[in-house]
Amino acid sequence: MVSHVEHPAAGYKKIFETVEELNEPIPAAITGVIPSWLGGSLLRMGPGLFEVGDEPFHHLFDGQALMHKFDLKNGQVTYYRKFIRTDSYVRAMTENRVVITEFGTAAYPDPCKNIFSRFFTYFRGIEVTDNCLVNVYPIGEDFYAVTETNYITKVDPNSLETLKKVDLCKYLSVNGVTAHPHTDTDGTIYNIGNCFGKNMSLAYNIVKIPPAQKDELDPIEKSQVVVQLPSSERLKPSYVHSFGMTDDYFVFVEQPVKINLLKFLAAWNIRGAAYMDCFESSDSMGTLFHLATKDPAVYMSSHKFRTSAFNLFHHINTYEDEGFIIVDLCTWKGHDFVYNYLYLANLRKEWEGLKKAATRAPQPEVRRYVLPLDVHREELGKNLVSLSYTTATAVLHGDGTVWLEPEVLFSGPRQAFEFPQINYSQYRGKKYSFAYGLGLNHFIPDRIVKLNVQTKETWVWQEEECYPSEPLFVPTPGATEEDDGVLLSIVVEPGAERPGFLLVLDAMKLTELARAEVNVIIPVTLHGMYRP
């Protein structure tokens, strides 16, 4: 899987440039054959506006939310995109400046106001961004574009119109939730977020949103916290981007990347700061795994799992087998925060400079951890893992903690397997074989990868000067094999006559079936969904 492709032309810079939205869908030119059963919409979210007036956004996660749609119907394909009319976007466009602080870009008071007005603006409290550029997913019959704050935005998946802004704090005791919820077989949605309670108490709440019911009430109005997990530090919650769920358990990985709440409150109110200014890394805590049962939802305080420090953004899959919970993760070694390396100034460097910067960043690695459910009747110092197909270990220590060592499923120098996907509808929470991911070469997305998590075999799709996005797996109707389906990815080929295209790959062989090309550049996208 390791990529030796160089990018001296630095064409990747084009995916970090501002684009305009489209007035109407544009037709795509199709080469190859799109499977006749593949009819629906690929919806994607990402940044599309990287500066406002003379003010640039500084971080990859700051650009204003742009929603993309490739429609596949009757052998034809069209492409459409539209900016989400968030408060962040509308006010920025109205005032021609950055008005609401984003992940890595601080907003400052209007320079046209007098000094007293600007001074008091700093003490109005935190105005949280609603820039929903990370993902889009359904809740009941509706669709929401999301980021990681308490605001989600209802959108029309057909017209891409913005419908309304929803504040989850009105329904749930959370200060934000991840952009990676899990959906159960009955349509129930589970998610996790930080909760700052009375007296600055801190916890992680797992929330539940029921499926749509006949009473036509909004499922969000029926949402509830089902279980609370403790924080290892009172004033420093860990950054959480995703979590694991099996049929019977929730798995939360508490990593050493922390949000310093005191710094967050003080810096924001007094001098103006971005979210990134309030992160710090603990070089002593390592990484903790928390378990909770699902039904009934109860925190398992007697199970204390610990391992060495790593950054975590994406869980691949989590499942139960013979009294163990297997947790497959895309990790980055150490406590140094990976997002420190995703400032746009870094990603837009010439190739040699970008590579040099990446050598200072944490090393990516796909890892498997195994958590034993029975930790009480074993001898100290003994490996509790008895599964025959993994080298991961779990050793009980005298203080009651279980020290975990992983099995490495993939590792290559500065080569990441990230933005992972599986055959989710059939294998979420179940033993599986295949994961699909976006290959990052020194942080630049330049390939699509299929990984057999049992044999560690890999397959790669890659073309020179092509920059793909997260591959989404769509199963063939009636399929009996886990990898019988297609992968959908938006690819950018700067300099080509039609530089943006929807790529359709055979998920078994990772060979191209078709591509639908359009004559516009498409900026980087983060996550999304396929809507049949």
Identify which of 508, 483, 446 has the alpha carbon closest to the alpha carbon of residue 12. Answer: 446
Q: Does 180 count as an annotated binding residue?
A: yes
**Alpha helix locations (H) across 282-429?**
344-347, 351-358, 424-427
Does 7 count as an annotated binding residue?
Answer: no
DSSP assignments along 350-365, one per residue: -HHHHHHHHTTSPPEE
> In the 3-class helix/strand/coil scheme, how is 75-132 assigned residue by residue?
CEEEEEEEECCCHHHHHHHHHCCCCCCCCCCCCCCCCCCCHHHHHHHCCCCCCCCCCC
Longest dimension (CA), the chain: 70
Q: Which residue has the tokens 């769509």?
A: 474
Nearest CA-CA partner of 133 in 88, 101, 72 = 88
Write the CB contacts of 282 (distance below 8 Å, at least 6 apart in sequence).
233, 236, 256, 258, 309, 335
CB of 72 within 8 A of CB of 32?
Answer: no
Nearest residue to 157 (alpha-carbon basis) of 72, 71, 262, 99: 71
* Single-letter residue type at 96: N
Cβ burial of 323 (10 Å; 0-12, 13-18, 19+) is exposed
Query: Comparing C-alpha atoms, which of 203, 202, 180 is closest to residue 191?
Result: 180
Instruction: Tell me how far apart the alpha carbons of residues 330 and 438 are, in angstroms, rounded to a whole number.
Output: 11
* Element spanning 413, H or E: none
- Provide the CB-side half-sphere exposure for 355 (13 A, CA): 11
The answer to whether residues 384 and 401 touch, using CB atoms and an 8 Å cutoff, is: no
494 backbone dihedrals φ, ψ, rounded to 5°: -55, 140
Q: How far apart are CA 355 and CA 46, in angstroms?
A: 24
Instruction: Compute the Cα dihedral for 262, 265, 268, 270 and give only its sign.
Output: negative
Please state the φ and ψ torsions of residue 312, each to the nearest 5 degrees: -140, 130
Annotated binding-site residue? 58: no
Cis peptide bond prior to 475, omega within 30° of 0: no
CA atoms within 13 A on the CB side of 130: 21
CA angle 11, 16, 22 (to 5 degrees): 105
Tell me the CA distances in angstroms from 111 to 90, 316, 418, one per residue in order. Answer: 19, 46, 41
241 annotated ligand binder = yes
Binding residues for Fe cation: 180, 241, 314, 527
Binding residues: 180, 241, 314, 527
